[in-house]
Amino acid sequence: MTRLNIAKGRVEMVHGSGGRAMAELIEQLFADAFANEWLAQGNDQAQFTLPPGRVVMATDSHVVSPLFFPGGDIGSLSVHGTINDVAMSGARPCYLSVGFILEEGFPLADLKRIVDSMANASKEAGVPIVTGDTKVVERGKGDGVFINTTGIGVVPEGLNLSGDKARPGDAILLSGTIGDHGVTILSLRESLGFEADIQSDSQSLHRLVAAMVEVVPEIRCMRDPTRGGLANTLNELAKQSGVGMQLFEKQIPVREPVRAACEFLGLDPLYVANEGKLIAICPQDRAEQLLEVMRAHSQGRHAAIIGRVVSDSHHFVQMETVFGGSRMVDWLNGEQLPRIC
């Protein structure tokens, strides 16, 4: 078998042909990095046994540009994003699959860097990549690499989180500062220089979630505010539950470098993407206990109660400003920042 020239080689059309070259790419790059007992079986599918409970499945495609950024890259992001989608149901993520769309001419060194990053993120999270697929498209038709990941998890007995369960009087909690990921990507893409003080918050949140649901199983719902940021996610939940929401601007954590960058760029941090934060809605009488659990975890040190659910037939999200006024927090209109994840 020919050894891949990782340092100087590039993806070729033959790497997606199903022949010897493709087998070499899979064995020397993907299988070597993702190595586990399921991949070692060499089948076209993964066979596994799940623990008792309801099965949860989520899929996500990743097209972020640039591919590498402070705090992460498309590889680690693809693992974190899908694990978080599964975890927001209260589930324990168990397994991942991955699909690569590679562009002819993409450097093998960059591909290895991405694959190694995925492997590290997967191992750190304890969620193995057990099956996958690779396709190659012609030069100029793929922009380097696109990645799809699918995750499977299991919800423990006694949990039933869903976006339609928020009720008037409930508290709205946020696990930490907003806007870090989106500002990082925009700064790097436009060569603005903010990345010296800001990096992506990309991380897997399933361990934080597990701590939260163990102590407060009455949590109504959780969601990670990715594209469209905090504002869009809360509008989604308000519509899904048929309620309104009242936020308090002074209680929403935003790092000063992010706030300054948003002011410079004319952006509202409420609409800027995040990749390592979650929103939780719970009964008001459990909010302080939940906040204590979140702040005790390294991923929730800056958690805050940022608002409450209210009765509103229009399903509006409104915010009390730092000046004591009130403003609508509407759905994002248009695309603020494309290819953010």
On whether the CB atoms of residues 281 and 221 are closer than 8 A, the answer is yes
Helix (H) or strand (E) holding 309: strand 304-310
For residue 321, is it within any domain?
yes
Write out pLDDT tens, residues 112-137. 999 999 999 999 999 999 999 999 99
- Report pLDDT for 195: 59
Q: pLDDT confidence of 338, banded at 50, 70, 90?
A: confident
Encoded tokens for 266: 């004319």
Encoded tokens for 149: 């990941």
- Report pLDDT for 339: 87
- Report pLDDT for 333: 83
For residue 335, is it within any domain?
no
- Report pLDDT for 94: 98
Q: pLDDT confidence of 288, banded at 50, 70, 90?
A: very high
- Report pLDDT for 47: 95
Task: Assess whether 44 and 131 both reside in one domain.
Answer: yes
Strands 92-103 and 129-137: parallel
What does pLDDT average to over the chain? 95
For residue 271, is it within any domain?
yes
Domain that includes residue 262, residue range: 171-328
For residue 84, is it within any domain?
yes
Encoded tokens for 195: 């990345």
Q: Which residue has the higher pLDDT, 187 or 292?
A: 292
- Report pLDDT for 334: 73
Task: Assess whether 71 and 187 both reside in one domain.
Answer: no
231-237 mean pLDDT: 98
Task: Assess whether 29 and 125 both reside in one domain.
Answer: yes
- Report pLDDT for 142: 92
Is 70 exceeded by the pLDDT of residue 84? Answer: yes
**Proportion of the chain above pLDDT 70, given as a percent:** 98
- Report pLDDT for 190: 81
Is 80 exceeded by the pLDDT of residue 194? Answer: no
Task: Assess whether 82 and 180 both reside in one domain.
Answer: no
Q: How far is CA 264 from CA 11, 231, 245, 333, in A?
A: 40, 20, 28, 20
For residue 147, is it within any domain?
yes
- Report pLDDT for 146: 98
| Residues near 161 by beta carbon (within 8 Å), at least 6 away in sequence | 88, 89, 90, 155, 213, 219, 220, 221, 222
On whether the CB atoms of residues 295 and 303 are closer than 8 A, the answer is yes
Q: Which of 96, 131, 155 is the last residue of a domain?
A: 155
238-259 mean pLDDT: 97
Write out pLDDT tens, residues 100-115. 999 999 999 999 999 9
For residue 28, is it within any domain?
yes
Tokens 């906040």 correspond to what residue?
291
**Proportion of the chain above pLDDT 90, given as a percent:** 91
172-197 mean pLDDT: 88
Task: Assess whether 176 and 314 both reside in one domain.
Answer: yes
- Report pLDDT for 196: 63
Is 90 exceeded by the pLDDT of residue 15? Answer: yes
CATH value at residue 63:
3.30.1330.10
Q: pLDDT confidence of 175, banded at 50, 70, 90?
A: very high
On whether the CB atoms of residues 76 and 118 are closer than 8 A, the answer is yes
Tokens 């922009």 correspond to what residue?
143
Task: Assess whether 239 and 145 both reside in one domain.
Answer: no
Structural domains in the chain (count): 2
Task: Assess whether 322 and 218 both reside in one domain.
Answer: yes
Total length of the chain: 341
Look up the pTM and report it: 0.96
Rounded to whole angstroms, the Cα distance separating 157 from 210 reads 13
Task: Assess whether 82 and 127 both reside in one domain.
Answer: yes
SS3 338: coil
Is 90 exceeded by the pLDDT of residue 192? Answer: no
CATH value at residue 307:
3.90.650.10
Is 70 exceeded by the pLDDT of residue 258? Answer: yes
Q: Which of 102, 125, 155 is the last residue of a domain?
A: 155
Q: Which of 99, 127, 155 is the last residue of a domain?
A: 155
Task: Assess whether 187 and 131 both reside in one domain.
Answer: no
Task: Assess whether 35 and 114 both reside in one domain.
Answer: yes
Task: Assess whether 92 and 33 both reside in one domain.
Answer: yes
Encoded tokens for 43: 């089948």
For residue 339, is it within any domain?
no
For residue 8, is it within any domain?
no
Task: Assess whether 226 and 289 both reside in one domain.
Answer: yes
